[in-house]
Amino acid sequence: MNGTTDPNGPMYYKGIYHLFYQYNPKGAVWGNIVWAHSISIDMMNWIPLEPAIYPSKSFDINGTWSGSATILPGSKPVILYTGIDGAGRQVQNVAFPKDLSDPYLREWTKPDYNPIIFPCGVNASAFRDPTTAWLGPDGIWRVTVGSKREKRGMAYLFRSKDFVRWTKAKHPLHSSKDTGMWECPDFFPVSPEGRLGLDTSARGKGLKHVLKVSLDLTRFEYYTVGKYDYAKDTYVPDNTSPDNSTGLRFDYGNFYASKTFFDPVKHRRILWGWSNESDRAQNETIKGWAGIQTIPRVLWLDSNQRQVVEWPIEELESLRTKQAYIHDKLVKSANYFEVEGIQTSQANVEVTFDVSSLERAENFDPAWTDPQKLCGLKDAEVKGGVGPFGLLVLASAKMEEKTAVFFRVFKAQNKHVVLMCQDPKRSSLVPRVYEPTFAGFVDVDIAKTKRISLRSLIDNSVVESFGAGGKTCITSRVYPTLAIGPNAHLFVFNNGLEDIKVSELKAWEIRTPLMNGD
Ligand code: DQQ
């Protein structure tokens, strides 16, 4: 029985990808937190090792909480993490591999000079989750730690020459009013064009930065794209999206405490996120586990430079088996069809919808600023003009159970607004505690493209969807009772007045990778 939450310290070392994660070895609820450790050569098949970091010293005796890895010059990994000390204070500690010649990095040493950062003048119960550190042009390391000052979310900045002695900078890297505690901040550079990722310490003209925070208040994350001033050590968002809980999200669904790392092998920045259960806690105890890590995603800056784009890492393709293929199929108004020939309880579906006319798009009310509320109002069963169209995944044969993933196009003044929703309201015959419809707007010019793509990764109790090539991503947890194993069906539907064409649909069965010491 066990429970996992935040991904911690992802990194690549000597041919191996490492993922650590907050983990309760004694139960499927949060508690007794250690840094569990798994290794992989492809980030799909995983081998669990012994926990790497666990409470043992005065500076972490009450908990080993989240943190990040940094690769020091000479390819030496180091971990910064939050310890809960004997007095219950949140302090920042450092840990080093015991044996650098072991590519598995099985054992970690916590020097006695810890803690290296103490909550001086900072709320000691709101001071945690150090980021990956980065090196400034002056040869000095920087790291940020999440915090709050009253209701203001804070990313405190610390500097060090040797990674051992750290001093608090006069000004935080960034802060934002009324956002509450900033958990698990993540701060990294992105290239202004192309998909290649950058090392966290990369510098250069024209680079942008991304600052992501996880909000304890809402249990959602948001990020901004902005400019990092290396000389002043401040981050200023570009102001192209709100710098608060209404801002952009890596994922508009059940996705929290996320963290990226730079993969030096394929030169990509990879995003990990934790997806919590939405089930009743007693069911977690029965099934013996709770919480999952989502499929790793490559993340880059969109060519519009206003948002990031995410796409499942290509290694996922190695798990594809049997394929179904459909092309140029019309889905008439108020119609649907089934995708047959493969099992879809574990599947990867990629579909492109052609939208030939936007004439009948519903009018957009400018008061609809909250996509989630709008999807609650206009779910998949509410007929529209252009859309709702999309997929019904993990559906039972007679559709008593189904999770709808869909788009709806609206006509606003001088533009069209595209809404993407993932609606689990009818996902299970057994009512759940928490079944929110998740949604995000999709920043595309559909009048120009006349088409939109959708990719969904379906895995028994998880649906991860990527709209418009990964511009809007939504993860949900669902618990069907009929639509399981070979009884899970996949449909394409159109509940709008306008006909839609599936120009291409590819769907693959996905085989189960190695996990949990299989
Ligand atoms: N989980 C960790 C904290 C972090 C929170 C504790 C976020 O370090 O702030 O398990 O989910």
Average pLDDT over residues 11-17: 98
Does the Cβ of 8 fall within 6 Å of ligand 1? Answer: no
Residues marked active site are found at 6
With bands split at pLDDT 50, 70 and 90, how would you rate the model's confidence at 170? very high
Does the Cβ of 257 fall within 6 Å of ligand 1? Answer: yes
With bands split at pLDDT 50, 70 and 90, how would you rate the model's confidence at 110? very high
What does the pLDDT read at residue 57? 98
Residue 183 alpha carbon, nearest atom of ligand 1: 9
User: Which residues are registered as beta bridge partners of 467?
Assistant: 454, 472
Å from CA of 184 to ligand 1 middle = 7
What does the pLDDT read at residue 433? 57
Looking at 364-468, which runs of residues are DSSP E strands?
Answer: 386-395, 403-412, 415-423, 438-442, 451-459, 462-467
Query: What CATH class does 320-510 carry?
Result: mainly beta
Question: Of the residues 4, 8, 21, 22, which should be mutated to test ligand 1's pocket, given the most ligand atoms within 8 Å of the CB?
Answer: 22
Sheet of strand 320-331: strand arrangement: 320-331, 500-510, 346-354, 451-459, 462-467, 472-477
Alpha helix positions (H), 171-224? none
pLDDT, greater one: 277 or 218: 218
For residue 188, what are the contacts with CB-CB under 8 A and spacing of at least 6?
Answer: 132, 198, 200, 209, 210, 260, 262, 269
Please say if the pLDDT value at position 358 is more than 60: yes
Region label for 477, one of left (φ > 0), alpha (ψ between -120 and 50) or beta (otherwise): beta
Does the Cβ of 128 fall within 6 Å of ligand 1? Answer: yes
Å from CA of 111 to ligand 1 middle = 23
Per-residue pLDDT tens for 50-67? 999 999 999 999 999 999
Q: Do the first three CATH levels of 68-270+295-314 and 320-510 match, i.e. the same topology?
A: no
For residue 240, what are the contacts with CB-CB under 8 A and spacing of at least 6?
Answer: 225, 305, 306
What does the pLDDT read at residue 338? 98
Å from CA of 84 to ligand 1 middle = 11
Residue nearest ligand 1's atom 7 by CA: 257
Domain boundaries, the chain: 68-270+295-314, 320-510
Residue nearest ligand 1's atom 9 by CA: 183
CA 10 to chain CA mean position, Å = 13
Question: Of the residues 2, 4, 5, which should be mutated to test ligand 1's pocket, given the most ligand atoms within 8 Å of the CB?
Answer: 5
Range name among 22-31, 234-243, 340-349 with the lowest pLDDT average: 22-31
What does the pLDDT read at residue 277? 85
With bands split at pLDDT 50, 70 and 90, how would you rate the model's confidence at 31? confident
Strand-strand pairing, 289-290 and 2-13: parallel
Does the Cβ of 66 fall within 6 Å of ligand 1? Answer: yes
Per-residue CA distances from 288 to 25, 139, 515 (Å)? 11, 48, 15
Residue 274 alpha carbon, nearest atom of ligand 1: 11
- Residue 432: strand, helix, or coil: coil
Does the Cβ of 126 fall within 6 Å of ligand 1? Answer: no
Please say if the pLDDT value at position 227 is more than 50: yes
What's the CA gap between 16 and 38, in Å, rounded? 10
What does the pLDDT read at residue 173? 97
What does the pLDDT read at residue 290? 86
User: What separation, in Å, do the N-terminal and C-terminal C-alpha atoms of the chain show?
Assistant: 16
Greatest distance between any 2 Cα atoms in the chain: 69
Residue 66 alpha carbon, nearest atom of ligand 1: 8
What's the CA gap between 56 and 110, in Å, rounded? 9
Q: The complex's ipTM?
A: 0.99
What does the pLDDT read at residue 434? 65
In this structure, the number of other CB atoms found within 10 A of the CB of residue 500 comes to 26
- Residue 20: strand, helix, or coil: strand
Report which DSSP code applies to 315: G
Average pLDDT over residues 120-125: 94
Å from CA of 4 to ligand 1 middle = 11
With bands split at pLDDT 50, 70 and 90, how would you rate the model's confidence at 1? very low
What does the pLDDT read at residue 516? 76
Per-residue CA distances from 443 to 210, 241, 312 (Å)? 18, 12, 19
pLDDT, greater one: 3 or 159: 159
Question: Of the residues 129, 147, 255, 275, which should be mutated to test ligand 1's pocket, given the most ligand atoms within 8 Å of the CB?
Answer: 129
Average pLDDT over residues 351-377: 96
Å from CA of 156 to ligand 1 middle = 17
Percent above pLDDT 90 for the chain: 92
333 is written with which tokens?
């108004």
Per-residue pLDDT tens for 475-510? 999 999 999 999 999 999 999 999 999 999 999 999
Please say if the pLDDT value at position 132 is more than 80: yes
Please say if the pLDDT value at position 247 is more than 70: yes
In whole numbers, what is the pLDDT of the chain averaged over residues? 96
DSSP string covering 130-169, please?
Answer: ----EE-TTS-EEEEEEEEETTEEEEEEEEESSSSS-EE-
What's the CA gap between 268 and 90, in Å, rounded? 32
Question: Of the residues 21, 33, 60, 66, which should be mutated to test ligand 1's pocket, given the most ligand atoms within 8 Å of the CB?
Answer: 66
Å from CA of 65 to ligand 1 middle = 6
Does the Cβ of 65 fall within 6 Å of ligand 1? Answer: yes
Question: Of the residues 8, 21, 23, 65, which should be mutated to test ligand 1's pocket, given the most ligand atoms within 8 Å of the CB?
Answer: 65
Please say if the pLDDT value at position 518 is more than 90: no
Residue 30 alpha carbon, nearest atom of ligand 1: 10
What's the CA gap between 117 and 129, in Å, rounded? 12
What does the pLDDT read at residue 100? 98
Range name among 12-16, 123-127, 230-234, 278-282 with the lowest pLDDT average: 278-282
Å from CA of 5 to ligand 1 middle = 8
Å from CA of 182 to ligand 1 middle = 10
Does the Cβ of 6 fall within 6 Å of ligand 1? Answer: yes
Residue 22 alpha carbon, nearest atom of ligand 1: 10
Does the Cβ of 129 fall within 6 Å of ligand 1? Answer: yes
CATH number of the 68-270+295-314 domain? 2.115.10.20
Decide: residue 178, CB within 10 A, 0-12 exposed, 13-18 middle, 19+ buried. Answer: exposed
Residue 5 alpha carbon, nearest atom of ligand 1: 11
Please say if the pLDDT value at position 30 is more than 70: yes
Per-residue pLDDT tens for 419-437? 999 999 999 998 765 678 9
What does the pLDDT read at residue 49? 97
Average pLDDT over residues 349-371: 97
Average pLDDT over residues 355-370: 96
Residue 67 alpha carbon, nearest atom of ligand 1: 8
What does the pLDDT read at residue 144? 98
Range name among 22-31, 77-86, 376-385, 393-402 with the lowest pLDDT average: 22-31
Å from CA of 434 to ligand 1 middle = 21
